Amino acid sequence: MEIEVISFGKIAELITTKKLILDFILDTDDFKKYLEETYPELNNIKYKLAVDKQIVQTNCKLKDGSVVAIMPPFSGG
Amino acid sequence: MSAERYNRQIILEGFGESNQKKLANASVLVIGAGGLGCPALLYLTASGIGRIGLIDGDVISLSNLHRQILFSTADIGKLKAETAARKLAELNPEISIKPYPFYISQTNILDTIKPYDFIVDGTDNFESKYLINDACALLNKPLVFAAVSGYEGQLAVFNVEDGNKNKTNYRDIFPIQPKKGEIPNCAENGIIGVLPGIIGTMQAAEIIKLITGIGKPMVNKLLNYNLLQQSFYEIDLIAAPDNAYKIPKDESSFLKTNFGYPKDDKHYRVLEIDIKELENLQKKDSTILIDVRETHEIPKLNSANYKQFPMSVFEDLLDQEIKENNIVLLCQHGVRSIAAAEYLHEKYGINKNIYSLKGGIIRWKNFFTS
């Protein structure tokens, strides 16, 4: 399954890939686990996911072509 | 009110005198007269908002001037709040502008925001952003939130119901305040001057839309703006599940909440652990494992090994003394358990080792269901 990744802020410097081909990832819980194993820095940064522009509050299924946004908080003013 | 001053927006189709009157009757507090606050204040003042408050305890420095466009070189060393108020009064002497030349704090914020209809967050640190968020959520004040970093910005309207009576706040996106150093700020990371100009101006636009009812304010949406790409990415927000976080429910609990930065020292930190570390801790004598999920959530865990204390009644646990030295919190996804761990941390400090299972029961469901 192909997932499009859009990342923001500091996370965009970590995750430079825009497309991921992932076969064992079914849902956002799997995806987070994959992200944190692949990019261990994410273990130390708070971030939120959105799938197809909807914020992820509880585990949700991913499908081929899903667009996952990975957003850190910003503090600047 | 001088109709001539506002003529170009009064003649605008869909705006008119009635909306100009709504602006004149409204009050807005801008917290932080910096990169976001300066442009927001300029446009709010020019638009004819009847009563504007601005709060900032800082003085103007040379490195502010590339983005804090209310100030000039001769202002260096002066208080931002008073300097900004003087310049804004020159721009529009027909409205009331009140400067508060001090920083917001846990003890002054509730009384400061109460007299205003709408709040603009133009602050530059998480401690203030969480303080403002929780104060506005507690008092149900519409809050126009923004934050910037590098070439990017975020914008949202919080505590305003949509057509389905749903509302959200910052903790629905980021329930736990980041630790100091986790996310770089402008002083560390840098910021292009025009970016807060764009985002702060958008904050003023959202306020004007909220007051007049024109257009569609960014209610239950988070806008991500990228200046380099000139692109916008909008996310629909829904509230986090019940008890994913706690907002103080009254003024006395607000005053007791810890809004300081969580300490960096590892002894002061809640540690997130994986299942192997949980198994190791389970073998030790003085360990308690606490499931903070609500009672209806599945899979159910063996109550001989896991004590259940749902987040909805977690305060009861805080009132009791835990005798074990190692406390492991777990929940479905590892979000609520961090909040629970932080509460226990506030209570016990370095006297107990407090852990949260990262990814929660779902991530390790083979372990919990076998």
**SS3 assignment for B235-258:** EECCCCCCCCCCCCCCHHHHHHCC
Report the candidate in B309, B310, B318, B311 with the shortest Cα–Cα distance to residue B258: B318
Dihedral, CA atoms, B317, B320, B324, B326, nearest 10 degrees?
A: 40
Specify the 3-state DSSP secondary structure of A44.
Answer: helix
Whole-angstrom distance, CA of residue B59 vs CA of residue B77: 5
Question: CA B77 → CA A35, A43, B59, B308, distances in Å?
Answer: 46, 41, 5, 56
SS3 of residue B233 by DSSP = strand
Mean of the per-residue pLDDT values of chain B: 92
> To which H or E segment does residue B343 belong?
helix B336-348
The residue range of the domain holding A31 is 2-71
Nearest to B184 among A10, A43, A71 (CB): A10
Q: CA-CA distance, B135 to B128, in Å (whole number)?
A: 10
Taking CB atoms and an 8 Å limit, are A75 and B124 in contact across chains? yes
The stretches of B53-99 forming alpha helices (DSSP H) are: 80-91
Contact A77 B176 (CB under 8 A): no
Q: What is the CATH number of the domain that holds A65?
A: 3.10.20.30
Instruction: Compute the distance between CA of residue B40 and CA of residue B122 in angstroms, rounded to an integer.
Output: 9
Which residues, 6+ apart, have CB-to-CB distance to B13 below 8 Å?
none
**Is pLDDT at B305 greater than 60 in this prediction?**
yes
Residue A61 forms part of a structural domain = yes
Q: How many domains does chain A have?
A: 1
pLDDT at B188: 67
Which residue among B32, B150, B236 sits closest to A53, beta carbon to beta carbon? Answer: B236
Distance to chain B for A31, nearest Cα, Å: 10
Q: Are A25 and A31 in contact (CB under 8 A)?
A: yes
A12 burial level (CB within 10 Å; 0-12, 13-18, 19+): middle
Taking CB atoms and an 8 Å limit, are B185 and A45 in contact across chains? no
Would you put residue B174 in left (φ > 0), alpha (ψ -120 to 50) or beta? beta
Asked whether residue A77 is assigned to any structural domain, the reply reads no
Number of residues that this document lists for chain A: 77
Residue with tokens 């030790």: B284
**Residue A76: inside a domain, yes or no?**
no
User: Could you name the CATH architecture of B264-369?
Assistant: 3-Layer(aba) Sandwich (3.40)
Contact A55 B146 (CB under 8 A): no
d(CA B313, CA B292): 9
- pLDDT tens for residues B29-62? 999 999 999 999 999 999 999 999 999 999 999 9
Of 3.90.470.20, 3.40.630.30, 3.40.50.720, 3.30.70.1250, the CATH number of B7-236 is 3.40.50.720
Above pLDDT 70, what percent of chain B? Answer: 96
DSSP symbol at B348: H
| pLDDT > 70? residue B266 | no
Instruction: Give A8 to chain B, closest Cα distance, Å.
Output: 8
Question: How far does A73 lie from chain B, in Å, by closest CA?
Answer: 7
pLDDT at B265 over 90: no
- This complex has an ipTM of 0.96
Residue B243, pLDDT score: 79
The predicted model gives B199-220 an average pLDDT of 98
Q: Are strands B271-273 and B353-357 parallel, antiparallel or unpaired?
A: parallel
Chain A residues whose CB is inside 8 A of the B226 CB are: 8
pLDDT, position B233:
98
Could you tell me how far CA A5 lies from the centroid of its own chain? 6
Residue A41 lies in a domain: yes
The region, left, alpha or beta by phi > 0 then psi within -120 to 50, assigned to residue A11 is alpha
pLDDT in tens, A11-45: 999 999 899 998 889 999 999 999 999 999 998 88
Residues of B tagged active-site: 186, 331
Q: Domain residues of chain B, as ranges? A: 7-236, 264-369
Give the H/E segment covering residue B146: strand B143-149
The H-or-E segment that residue B157 falls in is strand B152-158
Omega before residue B196 within 30° of 0, cis: no
Q: Between A8, A33, A74, which is nearest B359 by CB?
A: A33
